[in-house]
Structure 1
Amino acid sequence: MASVGHWQYSLQLSSEQTSQPVQIIGEVNSLVITEKNIRFNIKVTHIADQHLLFTKIFHLSWREPAWQVQQGQRVKLWVKVKPPHGLANEAGFNYQQWLFSEGINATGYVKSDDDNTLLANVNSIRQTLLNRMLGFDLPQRSWLAAVTFGYRGLLQQEDWHLVQKTGVAHLIAISGLHLALVASVSYVLIAWAGGGLISRFYSLHHINLHNVAMLLTLFTTLAYSALAGFGLPTLRAWLMLFLFSVLFLWNKHLGARRLILLGLTGFVFLFPLSIFGLSFWLSFSAVTIICFIFWRWPVKQANFSLTAIFSGMVKVQLCLTVLMLPLVAWQFSYVSTVSPLVNLIAVPVVTMVLVPICLVAVICLAFSPDWAFELFSYADLILSYGLTFLNFALKIKASFFNIPTFPAAVWFFVFLFVLGCCLPSFWLNKKYLFLLLVPLASHLLSPKINTWQLDVLDVGHGLAVLISKNNHAIIYDVGASYPSGFNMADSVLLPILQARGFSKVDVVFISHKDNDHAGSLPQLLKGIEVSQVITNQDKCQQDFAISWQGLSIEALWPDNALKHNDNNGSCVIKVSDQYHSILLPGDINKSIEKQLVGLYPKQLKSDILVAAHHGSNTSSSAEFIQTVGAKYVIFSQGFMNRWRFPRQEVVDRYQTYNPILFSTSHSGQVSFQIEYNSTTPVILKTFRQDIYPYWYANSTHH
C-alpha cells in the first residue's frame, strides 16, 4: 500500500496543468443520459498533445455540451481541472476519499471552445442498451436502470433515503446476490443444453460436462459484470466465483475462511484503492458473517424442504442484520428496525423474480423491442408494488432512528457483545457479556459539561458556523444551495447535527441573503426543528443582545440593513463568556470595518475571528485587524476558488500581527473547544490534521 500511495502521488497533475485550461483527448467512461449539466468520467490518453504512458481518469462537468455525450465516445476537449478535493467535516460524505478510492486523478469542467471535437462517435453496448430501455415510457425507469444496468444517476435524494432507511440499498447495487443468480441460471442452462448435445454423439461422451458448464459460466457472469459497468461490488463477487471455480476444477478444497482470505488478498492486489471505499468492508463483512452463520447453525436437513429454506432465510437475514448493526450504526449513525422484515421479502423477490425478468428483457432489447417492453412493464409493475411496500414500512412508527456518532471502539465492544451472544457457550459465561455494553451506556448519557464549542465548517465558498453547549446549538449562516440540488444543509449541517445528537437548533442567524450564506436555509428548516431564525432584515441589528446557555450574544451591525448593500448590511455578532470571545463579521468591507472600529474600539476585541468576506481584499483592513487582535483567524473559502480567496495581500496584513491562520479549504472543519468562564487555553482541532489525518483522505494537502 505504500507503493500504491507513491504511485498515486506520481499521477497527480502538475501545477501548470491545474492553473490554466488544458486540452485533453480521451474516452468517455461513464453512462450519460441527460443533455445538459452533465457529469462524466473520461479516461485521458493525451494532455496538451503529450501522450500519457499511464492513462488518468478525470471527473468532469459540462454545462452545455456541443453534442450528446455517450459512453464509448472518443473526444478532444478543453478543460479546467484541479486535484481531487472534497469538503472535510467530521460528519457527512467524504467525497475526496471516495474520489481517491475510485482512482480519479482530477475534477473540473469542460470549457466552451470551438476546438472541442467528437473524434469517434461509438457508443458502448451498455450505453446503447440503456438508451433503448429509457426510451420506453415506464414510471419506474430510474429504478429499472439501477437494478438492470447499475446506473443510479436518475435516482433522487428521497429515493436514497427510502432504500437506506429500510435497509435495502444493497439490492440497488448489482452485487453478489445478482451474480450468484446469473451464475446458477447460466450453469443449469449450459448443462441442460450440453447434456442434450453430448447424449446424441458417442464421441463426445468423454467430455466432463460439469467442468465445461463451470468454465462457460465464468464467461457469462463476466459479461453480466460488463453490463453492470464492472462495478467493484460485481467484480468482488466475480473474483470469488472465479476462485471457487478454479479450486473446484483442480480438486482443491479450501475452507470458507481460507477462501475469503484468498479472495480478499486477490482483490486488494488487483484493486488496491478500493479498500479506501466503505463498500469493500461492508461486502467482505457480510460474506464473513454469512459463513459464520452457517458454521454456527449448519443446515442439517438433507432433503429439499420449503420450510427448511424459509427458516434458513429467516435465520440468515436476522443474524446478518444484528451482526452488521454495529458496523452500519458506526458508519451511518442510524439503525433500521424494519430492515430484517423488509429484506426477508425484498431479497427473494428482487433476486428470484425482478432481476431474471430484467435480464431476459435486456437480451430481448437486442432483437425484439416489443418483447423487451412487455417484460420491462412487468418489472415496472413489481417495482411499483415494492416501492409502495417500502414507503409503508418507512411510515411505521420507529421504523428507524438516528443515533449520535460514537467512537469506533464503542461499536467494537457492541459487536463483541452480539458475537458473544451468538457463539456457543464453550467456557464463556454469557451472563457477564453485558459488561461489553458499558462503553455504549456511558456514551449514551449526556452529562452537563463546562465547555462550549465553535466549529467553522468546511462548506466550500460560503460560511456555516456551529456554536454548541450542553447539547444545544446555534448556527451562524448555512452555506450555499445549487441548482443541481446539492446544498450545504443536507451535505454538511444536518449530518453533523445528527452525529452530535442534536434534535433541534435553538437559533439560526443569517448574516445576509447571499446564496453562499443563506442558500441552504430551506433545506435546514426541512431537516431539523429550528426554534428561531434571525436575519439582518429583522432582529439582527445593532443593540440586539441575548443570553444563551450563559453566553452573551450581541449584534454590532448593521444599524439599518436597508441602508446598505447585501454585504455591508451583514449581521455582525460577537459571542463571548467572561474570558473568551468570537467575532463573526459576515461579508462587510473596509468602510464598515472603519465604522465598527470607531463605534466599538474595545468591544471588537476577540480571541477568534472568522475573516470578513472569505479573505477578499475589499475587507480586513489593518486597523480592523489590529483592533480585534484575534489569536486565531479562519478563512472560510473554496478550494482553488476563482477569486483566489484569501488574497495574498490580506494574508500578509494578518501576518503582520502574528495570529494563527487557517483556511477551511486547506484544514477542513476548524473546531475550538473552550472552557466556560475560565482562563484555560482554547483546545484547537482541524479535520485534516487532527480529526482525520490520513494520507488517502487528504492527498492534496501534504
Structure 2
Amino acid sequence: MILFVPAFLIGMVSLLIYPSLPDSLTIDVLCLLVVICLAIYGRTQQKTVFFLASFFLGIIWFAIAAHRVLEQQLPQSLENTSLIIEGQIATLPVLSNGVLQFQFAISKVCEKKVCRPLHLNSLLTWQSPPDNVRISQIWQLPVKLKRPHTYANPGSFDREAWLLQNRLRATGAVYQAKHEGAPVPRLLANKKSIARIRQYYDRQLLAILNNEPFAGVIDALTVGNSAAISQDQWKVFRNTGTSHLIAISGLHIGMIAGLFYLAGIACWRLSAYLCARLPAQKAGAIFGMIGAFSYTAFSGFSIPAERTLIMIITWMGSLLMSRYSSSLQRFMLGLGCVLILNPFSVMNSGFWLSFSAIALIGYGMSGRLSDKSLWWRYGRVQWVASIGLMPLSWLLFQQSSIIGLFANMLAIPWVGFVTVPLALLACLLLPINNMVGQHVLLLSEKTLEWLWPYLHYLATLPNNSWFLGLHTSWLILPLMIAVLLILAPLHFPGRWLALIWFCPALFIRPAKLPENAVKLTVLDVGQGLSVVIQTRTHTAVYDTGMGYPDGYNMGDVVLLPFFRVEHISKLNKLIISHPDADHSGGANAVLQQFKTVPMLVSVIDQFKKQEITACEAGQTWVWDEVTFRILYPFQGQARADNNSSCVLQIEVNGKQILLPGDIEKAAEAELVAQYHQQLASYLLIAPHHGSRTSSSDLFIQAVNPKVVVFATGYLNRYHFPSDQAVMRYQRAGGRLYNSAYDGAITVTFMPDKPVEVHTYRKDYSHFW
C-alpha cells in the first residue's frame, strides 16, 4: 500500500499536464504493461516493477473516469440556442442577489419542437425565479446552454476544471418569456427526497437569523450554503487564512466524528453488558462514523466532505477490524480510497491542502519528546500547518496569510467545538421545541460575533499576507525541501540549508525586457477589455474588464492574480478608456492594490482620486525608449459614450500598437482625417470588440494591421465580433485572434527580433 498509492497518484497527476487523454488503444497497451509488470513482480519481487505497474494503473483509472465524463458533451449545435429541457434539480438551489443557481440533471432536450433524450449534468442560473423551486423537483425549463468555458489567463481560477470535477458538462441560464406564446418554466413533478430536509433547514435558519450579521456563516456551517456570506466577511476570512473554516470538510467533520466517538465511548461504558459484547472503543468508532456520515449528508455530500468521510471510514474501519496499522499505512489507505472513489480529487486544491496538512502534521510532530503539554502540542500543530502549507498556497493562490497562525489558534477550536456543535444542536431542537432551538441557534450566531473583532483586527493589519507568484510550478520542489528542513527536529543537521532552498522562489523572476521592448497582454476577461502593457521598468493597464453589482469584478478575478504571477509589484499608469462597466468594472480593485497609481480617464467624475487626468490628444510620455501617445479624444470633446474612448498609440522599435477602446465609425473617421498614415500599426485591438458599428473599411485601410485582437466573451449576447468586421479584417490580410477562444493573448516586441504572439489556451492546453 505504501508503494502503490504514491505511484498510483503520480500516474493520475501525470495526465493533468497533457493536452489530450490517451485513446482506447493506448489504454489497452497500458493494461497489457500492467499485466506484464505484475507477472514480473510475482517472480522477482522487484519494487521498481510494482511501482511501474501502479503508475500505469493510475493513468488507466484516471483516463477511463475522464473519458466517461467528457463523453457527456453538449452538442455544439445546441450551444447558445433557445432550448426546452426537462430534468431534475440535483442540488440545493442557492439564491444570491435575486439570481438562483443550482445543478440540473437534464434528461430530455427539445429544439424547435423536436425532442430527444440527452443525459447531461448542468449548472443553471435563474433570474427572478418563483418561490416554489425546490431540490429534487422535475422541471421543464426554457434555457440557453454553453459548453464549459473559463477565463484563460496566467493565475486565473480554472472554472473548466472545477466543472469537470463536479461532472458538470454545460452551463446556462433560464430565460424569461418576452412575448405571448413563448415557452415558460413548468413544474412537472414535486418529488420528495431526503435532500428536502436540507432546503427546509436552509430556509428556516436564514429566516430565524434574518437580521443577524453572521446568518450566512451559520448557514454555510450547517447546510453548506455560503451564498449569504458578504464580500466583506469573505475578505476577512481570506486575509486571516480562515476561509477553510467555512467549507464543511476535514476540520468540522473530523471534530464532529471525534465528539461522537468520545460520546459513544462514554455512553457505552455506562453498561457492563454492552462492554462485554463490544469493546467501548469499537462502539465509539461506529458512533464516530455515524456522526461523520450524518453531518456529510446534512451538508449535501460536497466533494471536500465526501473526501473526509472516506478518510474517517477507513481509519475507523481499521479500528473496528482490530488490525494494527501504522499512521502511515492508515494515511495511505485513506488516500488510496479517495483516489479510487473520486479520481478527479487530484484536480482540487482542497485535496492537496488537506492531505498535505495531514502528512506535514505527522512529520512535524514526530521525533519530539512526548511529555509536552497539550497546549504546546496544539500550538505546534498550528505552526506546522501554517508554515508547511505556505508553498502550496503560493502555488495555488499566489498568496499565503502571514497572520493565519494567530487567527487559526483561536478560530479553529472556537468554531469547531463551540459554534458548529451549537448550530447542529439547534437544528436537532427546532422540530422538537422551536423556541429552544431558536435560542440555541441565536447563541451559535453570537459566538461568531464574539470572535469577529479578533479576526477583523488581524485582517486590517498591514502586510497581513505574503504575495508570491511562482514563476514556474517546479519552484514548489525547493520550497517543500525548505519547509521539511524548517519543521525537522531542533537538532537535525543542516536545518540552516532551508534558507538556501528558499532562494529560488524568492529570486527567480521572469527575464526582464530590454530597452525599447514591449510585452502586451490582452487578458481574457469575458465580454470586456483589459490590456497589460509592460516595458523594462514600467507597467500600464488599459481598461480593467467587467464589474458586477454584487462586487464580482475582473480586477480581483483576473488582473491581480496576473500581477502576482508576473511579479508586478508597481503600476505606473492606469488608463480607463471610457466609463462602460465592461471596461472600468475592475478599476476599484486595482486602485485598492495600487493606491497611488496615476490615472488617465475619459470622464474624470467617475473616480474620486487626486492624481487623475482627462485623456486628450497630444499627451505623450516615454518609458524605456518606448513612446506612448494619446490620439483621441480631441480637445473639447468630453462626453460619456463609446466615442469618448481614450485612444492610445504605442511606438516601439519602429512598430506601432493601437488601442482604440470602444470607438465607432464616427470617431474612426475623425482619427483617419486627423492622422491618416500615422495610424498604421502592427497590432490593433479591434475597436468596440469588432461590432458592426465599428471597424470601417476606411479605418482598417489606414491602420493596415498585421495582427488584430478581438476582446470578446464566449458566445456573448452581442454576437461580437460581427461577421462583417471579421470579413473586413480578413480582406486586409491580418492575423486574427479572439480572447474568447485563445485566452490571454501576449504579443512581444523585442529589438532586432520578429514579433512573437502567444495564446494561453494553446501554450497551456489541457484535455478538459
Q: Note closer, same or farther for the CA distance 1:309–1:36 as it changes in structure 2 (3 Å cut).
A: same
Residue identity opposite 1:47 in structure 2: V
Residue identity opposite 1:543 in structure 2: G
Instruction: Answer whether contact 2:135 2:196 (CA < 8 A) is retained.
Output: yes
Instruction: Answer whether contact 2:663 2:688 (CA < 8 A) is retained.
Output: yes
From 128, 139, 153, the equivalent of 1:64 is 128
| Equivalent position of 2:609 in the other structure | none
Instruction: Answer whether contact 1:146 1:152 (CA < 8 A) is retained.
Output: yes
| Equivalent position of 2:94 in the other structure | 32
Q: Note closer, same or farther for the CA distance 1:198–1:31 as it changes in structure 2 (3 Å cut).
A: farther
| Equivalent position of 2:81 in the other structure | 20
Instruction: Answer whether contact 2:145 2:172 (CA < 8 A) is retained.
Output: yes
Instruction: Answer whether contact 1:21 1:78 (CA < 8 A) is retained.
Output: yes
User: How much does 1:153 deviate?
Assistant: 0.8
Q: Note closer, same or farther for the CA distance 1:440–1:18 as it changes in structure 2 (3 Å cut).
A: closer
CA distance in 2: counterparts of 1:424 and 1:498, whole angstroms = 33
Matched position secondary structure for 2:701: helix
Q: Note closer, same or farther for the CA distance 1:565–1:445 as it changes in structure 2 (3 Å cut).
A: closer
Q: Note closer, same or farther for the CA distance 1:447–1:657 as it changes in structure 2 (3 Å cut).
A: closer
| Equivalent position of 1:235 in the other structure | 306
From 224, 232, 235, the equivalent of 1:161 is 235
Q: Does 1:688 align with 2:761?
A: yes
Instruction: Answer whether contact 1:456 1:465 (CA < 8 A) is retained.
Output: yes
Q: Does 1:278 align with 2:349?
A: yes
| Equivalent position of 2:713 in the other structure | 638
Instruction: Answer whether contact 2:510 2:566 (CA < 8 A) is retained.
Output: no
| Equivalent position of 1:510 in the other structure | 576
Instruction: Answer whether contact 1:561 1:569 (CA < 8 A) is retained.
Output: no
The 5 A counterparts of 1:202-601 are 205-207=276-278, 210-297=281-368, 300-301=370-371, 308-423=373-488, 429-443=494-508, 449-450=514-515, 451-537=517-603, 539-559=614-634, 562=637, 566-601=641-676
CA distance in 2: counterparts of 1:58 and 1:477, whole angstroms = 33
User: How much does 1:180 deviate?
Assistant: 2.2
| Equivalent position of 1:304 in the other structure | none
| Equivalent position of 1:41 in the other structure | 103
Instruction: Answer whether contact 1:102 1:274 (CA < 8 A) is retained.
Output: no
Q: Does 1:185 align with 2:246?
A: no
Q: Note closer, same or farther for the CA distance 1:597–1:35 as it changes in structure 2 (3 Å cut).
A: closer
CA distance in 1: counterparts of 2:553 and 2:96, whole angstroms = 21
| Equivalent position of 1:83 in the other structure | 147
CA distance in 2: counterparts of 1:234 and 1:519, whole angstroms = 35
Query: Could you list the per-position Cα deviations for residues 553-610 of structure 1 after superposition, in whole angstroms to 9, with x for gaps in the alignment?
Result: 1122233574878223322221112323211122223344344334323211111111
User: How much does 1:667 deviate?
Assistant: 0.8
CA distance in 2: counterparts of 1:51 and 1:287, whole angstroms = 48
Query: Could you list the per-position Cα deviations for residues 268-294 of structure 1 after superposition, in whole angstroms to 9, with x for gaps in the alignment?
Result: 222222321211111111111122123
Query: Could you list the per-position Cα deviations for residues 236-290 of structure 1 after superposition, in whole angstroms to 9, with x for gaps in the alignment?
Result: 1110111122222233333333333332232222222232121111111111112
User: How much does 1:519 deviate?
Assistant: 3.3
Q: Note closer, same or farther for the CA distance 1:519–1:430 as it changes in structure 2 (3 Å cut).
A: closer
| Equivalent position of 1:700 in the other structure | none
Q: Does 1:129 align with 2:201?
A: yes
Q: Note closer, same or farther for the CA distance 1:440–1:498 as it changes in structure 2 (3 Å cut).
A: closer
CA distance in 1: counterparts of 2:512 and 2:761, whole angstroms = 29
Q: Note closer, same or farther for the CA distance 1:494–1:424 as it changes in structure 2 (3 Å cut).
A: closer
| Equivalent position of 2:681 in the other structure | 606
Instruction: Answer whether contact 1:35 1:69 (CA < 8 A) is retained.
Output: no
Q: Note closer, same or farther for the CA distance 1:75–1:519 as it changes in structure 2 (3 Å cut).
A: same
Query: Could you list the per-position Cα deviations for residues 630-685 of structure 1 after superposition, in whole angstroms to 9, with x for gaps in the alignment?
Result: 2211100010112222223322322233322110000111112222xx23122322
CA distance in 2: counterparts of 1:680 and 1:343, whole angstroms = 52
From 709, 712, 723, the equivalent of 1:648 is 723
**How many percent of aligned residue pairs carry the same amino acid?**
28
Instruction: Answer whether contact 1:454 1:467 (CA < 8 A) is retained.
Output: yes
User: How much does 1:530 deviate?
Assistant: 4.4
Instruction: Answer whether contact 1:590 1:619 (CA < 8 A) is retained.
Output: yes
CA distance in 2: counterparts of 1:631 and 1:527, whole angstroms = 35
Instruction: Answer whether contact 2:573 2:598 (CA < 8 A) is retained.
Output: yes
Q: Structure 2 regions of 5+ residues with no counterpart? A: 1-61, 178-182, 604-612
User: How much does 1:216 deviate?
Assistant: 4.6
CA distance in 2: counterparts of 1:613 and 1:446, whole angstroms = 33
Q: Note closer, same or farther for the CA distance 1:519–1:422 as it changes in structure 2 (3 Å cut).
A: closer
CA distance in 2: counterparts of 1:551 and 1:487, whole angstroms = 31
Q: Note closer, same or farther for the CA distance 1:522–1:400 as it changes in structure 2 (3 Å cut).
A: closer
Matched position secondary structure for 1:58: strand
Q: Does 1:118 align with 2:118?
A: no
Return the TM-score normalized by structure 2: 0.83
Matched position secondary structure for 2:575: strand
CA distance in 2: counterparts of 1:232 and 1:271, whole angstroms = 9
User: How much does 1:376 deviate?
Assistant: 1.7
CA distance in 2: counterparts of 1:570 and 1:639, whole angstroms = 24
| Equivalent position of 1:8 in the other structure | 69
Instruction: Answer whether contact 2:616 2:646 (CA < 8 A) is retained.
Output: yes
Matched position secondary structure for 2:135: coil
Query: Could you list the per-position Cα deviations for residues 365-417 of structure 1 after superposition, in whole angstroms to 9, with x for gaps in the alignment?
Result: 22112111211222122101111110112233433333344322223212212
Residue identity opposite 1:244 in structure 2: W
Q: Note closer, same or farther for the CA distance 1:179–1:88 as it changes in structure 2 (3 Å cut).
A: same
CA distance in 1: counterparts of 2:524 and 2:762, whole angstroms = 14
Residue identity opposite 2:766 in structure 1: Y
Instruction: Answer whether contact 2:482 2:497 (CA < 8 A) is retained.
Output: no
Query: Could you list the per-position Cα deviations for residues 484-527 of structure 1 after superposition, in whole angstroms to 9, with x for gaps in the alignment?
Result: 32222222223323443434432222222222223333443334
Residue identity opposite 1:128 in structure 2: Y
Instruction: Answer whether contact 1:455 1:671 (CA < 8 A) is retained.
Output: yes
| Equivalent position of 1:108 in the other structure | 172
Q: Note closer, same or farther for the CA distance 1:527–1:442 as it changes in structure 2 (3 Å cut).
A: closer
CA distance in 2: counterparts of 1:280 and 1:397, whole angstroms = 30
Instruction: Answer whether contact 1:503 1:529 (CA < 8 A) is retained.
Output: no
Q: Structure 1 regions of 5+ residues with no counterpart? A: 302-306, 697-702
Residue identity opposite 1:612 in structure 2: P
CA distance in 1: counterparts of 2:67 and 2:445, whole angstroms = 47
User: How much does 1:338 deviate?
Assistant: 1.6
Instruction: Answer whether contact 1:335 1:402 (CA < 8 A) is retained.
Output: yes
Q: Note closer, same or farther for the CA distance 1:682–1:467 as it changes in structure 2 (3 Å cut).
A: same
Instruction: Answer whether contact 2:475 2:505 (CA < 8 A) is retained.
Output: yes
CA distance in 2: counterparts of 1:464 and 1:440, whole angstroms = 28
Matched position secondary structure for 2:216: helix
Residue identity opposite 1:25 in structure 2: E
Q: Note closer, same or farther for the CA distance 1:34–1:95 as it changes in structure 2 (3 Å cut).
A: closer
Matched position secondary structure for 1:401: strand
Instruction: Answer whether contact 1:35 1:65 (CA < 8 A) is retained.
Output: no
Residue identity opposite 1:119 in structure 2: L
Residue identity opposite 1:607 in structure 2: Y
Q: Note closer, same or farther for the CA distance 1:140–1:427 as it changes in structure 2 (3 Å cut).
A: closer
* Greater alpha carbon shift after TM alignment, 436-445 vs 333-342: 436-445
